[in-house]
């Protein structure tokens, strides 16, 4: 056996002997005092248990008596929102349908008529992604109730193309690379359409004001302004 290993073994044995000696001394002291460490710990634990049980019993005695099951309260069934038949013209097609009083125009366009080009983003009138044209004016579909659109003429991004050809504004956005992710672009195009229908030759400031309600985090608005300016000369 290597010398180092023998030394380690001797050292371990020596430490064990010292430990045993200390334990024997401690046991002799406990025997003289009449109280052992084990007995002390067991007594302390028993005291804690008994004290906790006594506290719990006193607490239970202070509680009011448990009553029987309460008589069930009758809950009125939820009343569904009222419906009304409305006739609207969407992209040139008259449509008559029943709508609930709490449905938004955005819900009707996307979920009922499946016109997914009108985007839902913030859903509380902040971003402009759901912009459509109602009776010639740009409007936010998420803030318009469908039940109030009876008799109105509504144009969505799908209604701009004619006979398979896209609208000059859409073409200008492609030619001038005025888009990035593209999610906000339908709303910007609809705002631009409403602007150019009123003002065929707007200035840059008028264009910026016309699309000021449309939020875009990609293009920096330089491309859309340039595209709308180009579209003005194509219409």
At 157-191, the pLDDT tens digits run 999 999 989 999 999 999 999 999 999 999 999 99
* Lowest mean pLDDT across 65-79, 80-94, 128-142, 215-229: 65-79
User: Of 105, 128, 157, which closes a domain?
Assistant: 157
Which is more confidently placed, 49 or 152? 152
Tell me, what's the pLDDT at 80? 56
Would you state the structure tokens that stand for residue 81, as one six-digit string? Answer: 């929102």
**CATH code of 184's domain:** 1.10.150.120
The domain total for the chain is 2
Structural domain includes residue 100: yes
Alpha-carbon distances, residue 118 vs 4, 139, 156, 158, 189 (angstroms)? 83, 12, 7, 9, 11
User: Of 113, 136, 157, which closes a domain?
Assistant: 157
Q: Tell me the C-alpha distance between 184 and 120, whole Å.
A: 10
- What's the whole-number mean pLDDT along residues 38-48? 56
The pTM assigned to this predicted structure is 0.66
Tell me, what's the pLDDT at 29? 60
Burial of residue 103 (number of CB atoms within 10 Å: 0-12, 13-18, 19+): middle
Average pLDDT score, the chain: 81
Summarised one tens digit per residue, pLDDT across range 58-88 is 445 444 444 444 444 444 444 456 899 999 9
- Domain extent, residue 121, equals 83-157
Q: Are residues 144 and 189 in the same domain?
A: no
CA 88 to chain centre: 32
Q: Which residues pair with 52 in a beta bridge?
A: none
Structural domain includes residue 56: no
Which is more confidently placed, 222 or 45? 222
Strongest mean pLDDT among 47-51, 53-57, 159-163: 159-163
Structural domain includes residue 44: no
Q: Tell me the C-alpha distance between 97 and 28, whole Å.
A: 98
Tell me, what's the pLDDT at 144? 98
Q: Report phi then psi at 177, rounded to 5.
A: 50, 50
Tell me, what's the pLDDT at 110? 97
b/e burial code for range 161-186 (CB count within 10 A of at least 16 → b): eeeeeebbbbebbeebebbeeeebbb
């Amino acid at each position: 056996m290597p010398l180092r290993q023998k030394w380690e073994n001797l050292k371990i044995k020596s430490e064990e002997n010292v430990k045993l000696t200390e334990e024997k001394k401690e046991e002799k002291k406990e025997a003289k005092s009449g109280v052992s460490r084990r007995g002390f710990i067991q007594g302390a634990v028993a005291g804690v248990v008994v004290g906790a049980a006594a506290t719990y019993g006193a607490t239970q005695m202070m509680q009011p008596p448990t009553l029987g099951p309460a008589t069930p309260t009758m809950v009125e069934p939820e009343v569904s929102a009222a419906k009304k038949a409305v006739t609207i013209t969407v992209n040139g097609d008259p449509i008559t349908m029943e709508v609930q009083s709490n449905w938004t125009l955005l819900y009707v366009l996307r979920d009922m008529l499946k016109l997914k080009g009108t985007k839902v983003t913030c859903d509380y009138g902040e971003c402009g992604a759901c912009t459509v044209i109602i009776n010639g004016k740009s409007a936010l579909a998420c803030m318009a109730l469908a039940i109030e659109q009876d008799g109105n003429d509504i144009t969505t991004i799908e209604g701009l193309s004619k006979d398979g050809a896209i609208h000059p504004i859409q073409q200008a956005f492609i030619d001038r690379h005025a888009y990035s992710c593209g999610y906000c672009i339908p709303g910007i195009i609809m705002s631009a359409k409403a602007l150019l229908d009123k003002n065929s030759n707007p200035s840059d400031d008028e264009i910026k004001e016309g699309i000021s309600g449309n939020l875009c985090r990609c293009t920096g608005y330089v491309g859309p302004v340039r595209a709308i300016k180009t579209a003005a000369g194509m219409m």
